[in-house]
A = this chain, B = another copy of it.
Amino acid sequence: MKRIAIDMDDVIADATQKFCDMYEAEFGIRIAKHDFLGKEFHEVVPTEHQKFVYEYPFRKGFFQDLKVIPHAQEVMLRLSKKYEIFIVSAAMEFPLSLSEKYQWMSEHFPFISWHHIVFCGSKSIIKADYLIDDRIKNLKNFDGKAIVFTAPHNLKDEYESFTRVNSWVEIEKMFL
């Protein structure tokens, strides 16, 4: 059985939307995803707001109530019949996220057992056939087939050496 490693933030959990929502709640300015295509969220806020935005994912609760990326649940359930699925999140960067991500997985992906969840720092330690991720730093150190999952920040040339998928519907077409 081939093994697919799947990232959490901006692949199955909508972290980018949470940045938009927290920023609007704090500063009263609505930034939509289509406002920062090809850029990081902090690049489109005023310089004096950047330090607050950097610190959002270190706040308690940031990862607790992220929305599920559309169709991730049903497609992953179908994938899990034919592939060995591992959820692999670089959670170690945000210490408070560890228990929140664990709870989030139990709530939204109860069919993925704790045996198949990995919280790491560097993903160079991961042994899998495929990695679906939105971050180049994770994809470029991966031995197997690296697949970039489209997120607002990753619409950049440097990602073009990887196969790109734009949605979970496209993941299903690729694998099933």
Q: Which residues of A contact B (CB under 8 A)?
A: 3, 5, 86, 88, 91-93, 95-96, 98-99, 102, 113-122, 124-128, 143
Report B-chain residues with C-beta under 8 Å of the C-beta of A91. Answer: 119
Q: Which of B95, B117, B128 contacts A92 (CB 8 A)?
A: B117
- Indicate how many identical chains form the complex: 2
Residue of B whose beta carbon sits closest to that of A122: B115
Decide: A115 and B92 in contact? CB cutoff 8 A.
yes
A125 and B95 in contact, given A118-B119, A120-B118 (Cβ under 8 angstroms): no
Residue of B whose beta carbon sits closest to that of A128: B125
Main secondary structure of the interface of A (DSSP, over half): mixed
Report B-chain residues with C-beta under 8 Å of the C-beta of A5. Answer: 125
Decide: B143 and A127 in contact? CB cutoff 8 A.
yes
> Can you show 22 pairs from A to B with CB atoms below 8 A apart?
A5-B125, A92-B102, A92-B114, A92-B115, A92-B117, A92-B118, A93-B114, A95-B114, A98-B99, A98-B102, A99-B99, A115-B121, A116-B121, A117-B120, A118-B118, A118-B119, A118-B121, A125-B126, A125-B127, A125-B128, A126-B127, A127-B127
